[in-house]
A and B are shown apart, each in its own frame.
Chain A
Amino acid sequence: MSLIWIVGLVFSLAFLAPFIDKRLGKISGYLYALLPAALFVLLIRLLPAIIDRHFIVRSIDWFPLLHVRLSFYLDGLSLLFGLLITGMGTLVLIYSGYYMQHYSMRGRFYFYILLFMGAMLGLVLANNLITLFVFWEITSFSSFLLIGFNHERPEARAAALQALLITGFGGLAMLAGFVLLGNVGGSYELTDLLQNGAVVKSSKMYVPLVLLIMVGAFTKSAQFPFHFWLPGAMEAPTPVSAYLHSATMVKAGIYLLARLQPILGGTDLWQFSLGLAGATTMLVGAYFAFTQTDLKKILAYTTISALGMLVLLVGMGTELAITAMVIFLIVHSLYKGALFMIAGAIDKTVGTRDIRHLGGMWPVMPIAAVATFLTLFSMAGLPPFLGFIGKEVIYDAKVQAPQIAVFLAILAVTANIFMVAVAFLFGHGVFFGKRKDPPKIPKEPAIPLLIGPAVLSVTSLFMGIYPAIITQPLVMPAIDAVNASPVDLHMKLWHGLNLVFLLSVITITLGLTLFFFRKPATKALRKFNQRYFRIEFTDLFRRLVENFLSFTKRHTEVVQHGYHRFYLMLIFIVSSLLVWYQLYHTRGWGFQASWEEIPFYLLGISLLIITSAIGAVFTRSRLVAIVLLGVIGYAMAFIFILYGAVDVAITLILVETLILVLFVMVIYHLPGYMPKYSRPSSRIRDGVIAIVFGGFMTALVLKAEFIKLSPPISDYFLKEAFTKGHGRNIVNVILVDFRGLDTMGETVVLVIAAIGVISLLKLKPKKKEEEE
């Protein structure tokens, strides 16, 4: 099956979801899980081919002239991400089948989340940079809809907007970077660019394009200083958080960096910026996670930390670092997904997810407790979980880093100490200690809420004990794709007593120490935070946006004052001045008017037009003025007929008639007398503008006769209208075929105008009635 169909299927299910939901009701949530499950199996079955390096490429032309293709590519890296997206997607959909069952807008929720899933799949499978960008933006706005899903809450709306503004801003920067990359590398296809890495790196545009693309990746993957949208995104329903954090949205930036590593990586700029951003983010996230009290917020900050770690590893770019990156990616997805699902399950059954109101849940929810602890051990990097292997490889990579090994190792150990402490804080705070007074009586969460955490925790335990099942088929092809060369890798649980193991022991010991002294530590840290970290990035961002908005408002009030006649005046004055200047500048008048050649009937029509125009200006009745304008229109239509433009003439006659009717109908509602005449000075002003503008139009038309833009496109239309457009009416062929996209846009504009009229005329008075 083609890769295009994988993405297409998810999108089609997304669009059908509201209807399915209406038909099947509550159970429909579980049904949607079948699709990602099927896709997961399908991707697994593609594994052997990928291991043998038979990468799959499929593409169709989209805008061939711009080298934009809808093309897809499946190698080890996209396959790994595809498996994460579909696998986690299955579990999340099962989970939300229960979690969301009493929500009123369930159908809409599934529409959003499936749209999001489809976009993520498209993103990781895309082979063309522009295709990738399109899917990237779809993930941005579908996550906007998901984060703001509880849209009655102002916090949810604010968080959604914040996430959209930041990731959207990054997305635009990234698009600019992509265009530069496409120009420098000679193609938008990743498969081509992978061959051209050296060309790109030696180009002058390398620095700007890398920086632009990095902004995109950093905003999406919540790297410092763009990290603050991620905790805000906790306003989303929990299934969304679980999905966003474990497999999808925030990993998109990591995916992009890993994907581009063979093309852009290896330079000082790349290593330095990724290393700096990643290390900062890693520390900031781990540090702030420790002082949080909301379960979801704790998890959000640990995600930030993990993302920092991943970026740092991509930046290091050594074979070992990439290996660590891939393994840690899997580790993190497994534990973060499980923990979010548990946080949501606790919230659902107990009614709170504030750690200060929780505690002592162990006897009432043993299954959840076991799943949580298995997961937390993996997060803390304890043996025999996959998390342990992940941590070992990371330390190994850092210790063997070329220049700054000691520094990096210290950073990683510091961040991990906090991670260990947070993991224990989370587990202990919820399940042990004294039971506080939660809003609802605690009991074991429902089975569908526990399926995900159970599967994930057992998986990470199993993978920890038998790492070989993922090394060969999953990890190696992914590393292969990032390194762009095959690697040989053996993962083991036990590496023996060495420096790396010593670091592990130090981490766990210090983490446990921090955990045991948590009370004084949190107190001290909170005090420290209030003193030195009072700047909230969210507030800073809000103030930035507010200032920007008030600035634009002031600016807009000057330019968009709302007076139609001043707009027209401005347009007329500016355009006529520009044209007159140009005419003066070129000095080529070249007007040749020979009055003898004009046939008498044209002269008659012209006279009719001129007298009607004068009449329209001087009449005292609105109706007469409008009828006279109509006469001008009909007379012009007659000229069109004389010169063979029957189409234009018919259209003009119909439009004139309809405008006449429209005007009469509007006049009917106006007061029956003419209001006071405008002052003589303004009438003179309007007259001058009208004459200048009319003169410029006349000059332009006369001039147009003598300007030949080479070569005229009309010849092409004449020649090709019948052969290519199958029509003898060239005007129509141009409208519906050669320039069909324009017509499409115009029709959309017309429809929007009609909707605008509806809202102006119909909706406003109704509201007023309600107010009264």
Chain B
Amino acid sequence: MSNPYSNIFRIAATKLRPLLLILSLVVLYRGHQQPGGGFIGGLMAASAYILYALAFSSKEARKKLPLSTSALLGSGLAVILVSALLSVFSGEPFMTGMWTTVHLPFGQELHLGTPVLFDLGVYLGVTGVLLTIMFDIIEIE
């Protein structure tokens, strides 16, 4: 296939993909305290790959994905289920939030809890859903 897209768009898509991904992870993590969260993060991560798919092809974009789209769907649900079940194993009702603080060097603190894990599952799931739908529609012959 000849190149129907502008090179500027292609370069932009290549450079923006990692940037958007990092940004989406930041949005995902800070979601619990400030605007952000798994849903928005997932949308951003998906946009990164959809941009790439528009600039090159969905095949190239699929290659760049660390997991297949269906694996993203499955892992999203699995992470959600694990985060919800963790509390059951420690004798609390289903989906009770559990928190722990990890101390990092330079006085930084990382608040980790099952809701954050839950958000990660939403993030993976939303990314998977969007990419599945988008790629499949792009690939209709």
Contacts known (A647-B40, A733-B32); A751 close to B133, Cβ less than 8 A: no
Contact check, A758 vs B136: say whether CB atoms are below 8 A apart. yes
Set of chain B residues within 8 Å of A60, measured between Cβ atoms? 88, 91
Please state if B128 and A647 are interface contacts (CB–CB under 8 Å).
no
B119-138 at interface with A (beta carbon < 8 Å): 119, 121-122, 125-126, 128-130, 132-134, 136-138
Contacts of B36 in A (CB 8 A): 647, 650, 729, 732
Complex CA gap A62/B99 in Å reads 20
Q: A766 → chain B, closest Cβ, in Å?
A: 12
A-side contacts of B94, CB under 8 Å: 62-63
Chain A residues with Cβ below 8 Å from B32 are 725-729, 732-733, 736
Q: List 24 A-B contacts (CB under 8 A).
A: A63-B94, A661-B54, A662-B133, A725-B32, A727-B115, A729-B32, A732-B31, A732-B119, A736-B119, A737-B97, A740-B84, A740-B118, A743-B122, A744-B95, A744-B118, A747-B121, A750-B126, A750-B129, A754-B73, A754-B129, A754-B132, A754-B133, A758-B136, A761-B137
Cβ contact within 8 Å between A654 and B137: no
Given contacts A662-B137, A665-B138, A751-B129, 16 further A-B contacts (CB under 8 A): A654-B44, A658-B134, A727-B32, A728-B33, A729-B33, A729-B36, A736-B116, A736-B122, A737-B115, A744-B84, A744-B118, A747-B76, A747-B122, A750-B125, A751-B128, A753-B129
The answer on a CB contact under 8 Å between B35 and A658 is no
Closest chain-B Cβ to A647's Cβ sits at a distance in Å of 5
CB distance from B93 to the nearest CB of A (A): 5
> What separation, in Å, do the CA atoms of A741 and B84 have in the docked complex?
9
B136 contacts A64, C-beta separation under 8 Å: no
Q: Are A658 and B43 in contact (CB under 8 A)?
A: yes
> In the complex, what's the smallest C-beta–C-beta distance from A729 to chain B, in angstroms?
6
Point out the residues of chain A lying under 8 angstroms from B38, CB to CB. 736
Number of interface residues of A (CB under 8 A): 45
**Do A747 and B43 form a contact, CB below 8 Å, given A725-B97, A729-B37?**
no
Distance in angstroms between the alpha carbons of A62 and B31 in the assembled complex: 29
Q: Is A205 an interface residue (CB 8 A)?
A: no
Question: Which chain A residues (20-58) contact chain B, with CB distance < 8 Å?
Answer: none
Write out the residue numbers on chain A whose beta carbons fall within 8 Å of the beta carbon of B50. Answer: 658, 661
- The reply to whether B137 and A747 form a contact with Cβ atoms under 8 Å apart is no
Q: Is A666 an interface residue (CB 8 A)?
A: yes
Q: Which residue of A lies closest to B34 (CB)?
A: A729
Identify which of residues 720-772 in chain A touch chain B, using a CB-to-CB cut-off of 8 Å: 724-729, 731-733, 735-737, 740-741, 743-744, 747-748, 750-751, 753-755, 757-758, 761-762
Residue contact B97 to A654, C-beta cutoff 8 Å: no
Contacting pair A747 B77 (CB below 8 A): yes
Q: Please name the residue on chain A nearest to B126 by beta carbon.
A: A750
Contact A62 to B136, CB < 8 A, known contacts A725-B115, A754-B73:
no
B22-45 interface bits toward A, Cβ cutoff 8 Å, 1 = contact, 0 = none? 000000000111111111100110
Interface residue? A61 (CB, 8 A): yes
A573 sits at the interface (CB 8 A): no
Instruction: Given A737-B97, A754-B132, verify A650-B35 contact (CB < 8 Å).
Output: yes
Q: By the criterion CB–CB under 8 Å, are A736 and B137 in contact?
A: no
A interface list, Cβ under 8 A from B: 60-64, 646-647, 650-651, 654-655, 657-658, 661-662, 665-666, 669, 724-729, 731-733, 735-737, 740-741, 743-744, 747-748, 750-751, 753-755, 757-758, 761-762
A731 touches B115 (CB 8 A): no
* A747: contacting residue among B125, B130, B132, B136, CB under 8 A: B125
B44: nearest chain-A partner, CB-CB: A654
- How many residues of B sit at the interface, in one of the four size bands? 35 or more
B residues whose Cβ falls under 8 Å from a Cβ of A: 31-40, 43-44, 46-47, 50, 54, 70, 73, 76-77, 80, 84, 88, 91, 93-95, 97, 99, 111, 113, 115-116, 118-119, 121-122, 125-126, 128-130, 132-134, 136-140
The list of the 5 closest CB pairs from A to B, nearest first, reads A727-B32, A654-B43, A646-B35, A736-B115, A754-B132
Q: With a CB–CB cut-off of 8 A, which chain B residues contact A647?
A: 35-37, 40
Residues of A within 8 A of B122 (CB): 735-736, 743, 747
CA distance A543 to B46 in the complex (A): 51
Distance in angstroms from A665 CB to nearest chain B CB is: 5
Report chain B residues within 8 Å CB of A726: 32, 97, 99, 111, 113, 115
When chains A and B are docked, how far (Å) is the Cα of A662 from the Cα of B138? Answer: 9
> Contacts of B88 on A, CB cut-off 8 Å?
60
Q: Max chain A CB contacts within 10 Å: which of B36, B94, B97?
A: B97
Q: How far is the CA of A747 from the CA of B83 in the complex (A)?
A: 14
> Which residue of chain A has its CB nearest to the CB of B113?
A726
Given A661-B134, A736-B32, A736-B37, answer yes or no on A743-B118 (Cβ-Cβ < 8 Å).
yes
In the complex, which residues of chain B have a beta carbon less than 8 angstroms from the beta carbon of A63?
A: 93-94
Q: How far is the CA of A747 from the CA of B97 in the complex (A)?
A: 18
What chain B residues lie within 8 Å of A665 (beta carbons)? 134, 137-138
Interfacial chain A residues near B134, Cβ < 8 Å: 658, 661-662, 665
CB <8 Å contact, A729 and B35: yes
A651 contacts B136, C-beta separation under 8 Å: no
- B37 to chain A: which residues have CB within 8 Å? 647, 729, 731-732, 735-736
Q: Which residues of B contact A64 (CB under 8 A)?
A: 93
How far, in whole Å, are A753 and B133 apart by their CA atoms in the complex? 9
Cα A744 to Cα B83 with chains together (Å): 11
Cβ-defined partner of A740 (8 Å) among B33, B95, B128, B138: B95
CB nearest neighbor in B for A731: B37
A65 to chain B: closest residue by CB: B93
Least Cβ distance of B81 to chain A in Å? 8
Residues in B with CB closer than 8 Å to A753 are: 129, 133
Residues of B near A750 (CB, < 8 A) are 125-126, 129
B80 to chain A, nearest CB (A): 6
A758 contacts across to B, CB distance below 8 A:
70, 132, 136
- Cα distance, A654 to B50, chains bound together (Å): 12
Of B43, B111, B116, B133, which one neighbours A651 at CB under 8 angstroms? B43
- Chain B residues with CB under 8 Å of A728's CB are 32-34
Distance between Cα atoms of A741 and B80 in the complex (Å) = 10
Question: Is the CB–CB distance between B137 and A741 below 8 Å?
Answer: no
Give Cα A574–Cα B122 distance, bound, in whole angstroms: 34
Which B residues are CB-close (under 8 A) to A655? 43
A residues within 8 A CB of B99? 726
Closest-CB distance, B126 to chain A (whole angstroms): 7
Q: Which of B39, B47, B97, B132 meets A658, CB within 8 Å?
A: B47
Q: Least Cβ distance of B33 to chain A in Å?
A: 5
> When chains A and B are docked, how far (Å) is the Cα of A727 from the Cα of B70?
31
CB distance from A11 to the nearest CB of B (A): 14
Q: How far apart are the CA atoms of A657 and B47 in the complex, in Å? A: 9
